[in-house]
Structure 1
Amino acid sequence: MKTVLCYGDSLTWGYIPDGSGRHAFRDRWPQVLQAELGNGVHVIADGLNGRTTAYDDHLSGFERNAAKTLTTALGTHFPLDLVIIMLGTNDMKHVLCGNALGAKRGMQRLIEIVRTSPYQFGAEAPRVLIMSPPPLGKAGGEEFRLIFEDGIEQSHLLAGFYKNAASLAGCTFFDAGSVAATSSVDGVHLDADNTRAIGKAVAPIVRDILDL
């Protein structure tokens, strides 16, 4: 049995763009990936609304800084064969980071954490697949618009920066924005069709990584 950890933010959690709740299991991309891969792979979804790559959010009651929490997730779920990380959207908030280069550096730190965590019982570090999230769009809601509008242009740079980070680290890279787009409702989150599209598109990449 192969084990895959999907580590992300609200796009992995399944936040519905109109703020009405959470997508059904069948529509969240990690569960779509599970269905595509079948019973020989166990896919673990770990998505937290607002999670950043490596930046503190002091307005939240949860620890959203992935650089502080990823080690715990790795220790909880190991042994792992693959870790998929899709983060960076929340880094675009001007009050936290606000630029794509900062997100790239945060992602590089997360890759380092995956590779250097103190796994027990002789477990090896898992492979890493980093995914750039779909770029932000013009948000329909005032709250998202005000906090993200300065990051819209920067979000379009994430794919290029992440591809470079993956190349430097010898990781696999996938641009989720090549198959999915954010909803016009809030410009940040994904409707059911688009989150399903990510799960279907990444499945053959995961099969290749895991030699399935």
Structure 2
Amino acid sequence: MSSILVFGDSNSHGTMPLPRLGALDRYAPDVRWPTVMAQILGADVVTEGHPGRTTVHDDPIDGAHKNGHAALPALLESHRPLDLVVVMLGTNDCKARFGLRGWDIAAGVGRLAQTIQASTAGPGGGPPDVFLVAPVPVEESGVLAEMFQGGPARSRAIAPALRAEAERLRCGFFDAGRICAVDPVDGVHLTAEGHGALGRAMAEAVRAHLQEGTGC
């Protein structure tokens, strides 16, 4: 049985679309895409989805603890040995406060991949394999519209840049935006149907990647 870590943000956590700021509703475990993927694969999947998590940036408003790069080493050690780490981050980097381009965001994900590659969190003390997922593009709508002003353009630029980064680092790659879209209620989070579609597509993509045996 493969051991997989999903390292992500609120869309891996299962946060429901926000009707108002501060809402904390979460989909049931069997609805969330990592659980759907796990059930199809028959794999041991640990989900580390932290709402608000960025790739490599301290958030000046929500706090330094949102920095994914700072959290990653401890999580790798906590859950080893891991066969695969799936990274789906970049949505929160699209917030207007960071002023990043799609290329910058992809480079942040690449930095996370390199940290995983340099770790001893895989079988036998080697590194785990890495699979990079471009997040679903955001929209300027609902209660998060102002926070993500300019986000649609930024988020749509992530996938091509991240594909190139995955090729450079010899990682798996998947574009979640080909499978589902955000809920217009807040323009950031997935519907229950979107979680199901993404979980099924990810199961197929991860299975193919593991069968190919192409590691980072």
Question: With structure 2 as the length reference, what TM-score do the two structures score?
Answer: 0.91
Q: Percent identity?
A: 37
Residue-by-residue CA offset, 1:98-137 (whole Å, 9 max, x unaligned): 3212111101100110011244984211111100111011
Structure 2 regions of 5+ residues with no counterpart?
A: none
- What does residue 210 of structure 2 align with? 210
Equivalent position to 1:75, from 59, 74, 77? 77
Q: Pick from 54, 57, 62: which aligns with 2:56? A: 54
CA distance in 2, matches of 1:62, 1:197: 32
C-alpha RMSD of the superposition: 1.7
The answer on 1:26 being equivalent to 2:30 is yes
Distance 1:113 1:98, change over 3 A: same
| 8 A Cα contact 2:137 2:152, kept in partner | yes
Given that residues 56 and 96 in structure 1 are in contact (C-alpha distance below 8 angstroms), is that contact kept between their aligned partners in structure 2?
no
Match of 2:93 among 91, 106, 121: 91
Q: Pick closer, same or farther for the CA change 1:85–1:121 going to 2, 3 Å.
A: closer
1:43-192 equivalence runs, <5 A: 43-60=45-62, 63-119=65-121, 122-141=124-143, 144-192=144-192
One-letter amino acid of the structure 1 residue matched with residue 27 of structure 2: H
Between the aligned partners of 2:32 and 2:186, the Cα distance in structure 1 is 18
Q: Secondary structure at the match of 1:209?
A: helix
Stretches of structure 1 that go unaligned for 5 or more consecutive residues are none
> What amino acid is the match of 1:31?
T
Per the normalisation by structure 1, the TM-score is: 0.93
Letter in 2 for 1:179: I
* Structure 2 SS opposite 1:5: strand
The letter for the 2-side match of 1:29 is W
What's the counterpart of residue 14 of structure 1? Answer: 14
Deviations 1:151-172 (A, max 9, x none): 2211111111110100111111
Equivalent residues of 1:53, 1:67 under 8 A apart: yes
Letter in 2 for 1:51: R
| Contact kept in structure 1, 2:82 and 2:123, CA below 8 Å | no
2:146 is paired with a residue of what secondary structure? Answer: helix
Number of equivalenced pairs: 208
Query: Residue 88 of structure 1 aligns to which amino acid in structure 2?
Result: G
Within the candidate set 34, 40, 56, 1:36 is matched to 40
Query: Cα deviation per residue 1:27-53 (whole Å; 9 max; x = unaligned)?
Result: 101000111112xx2011100000001
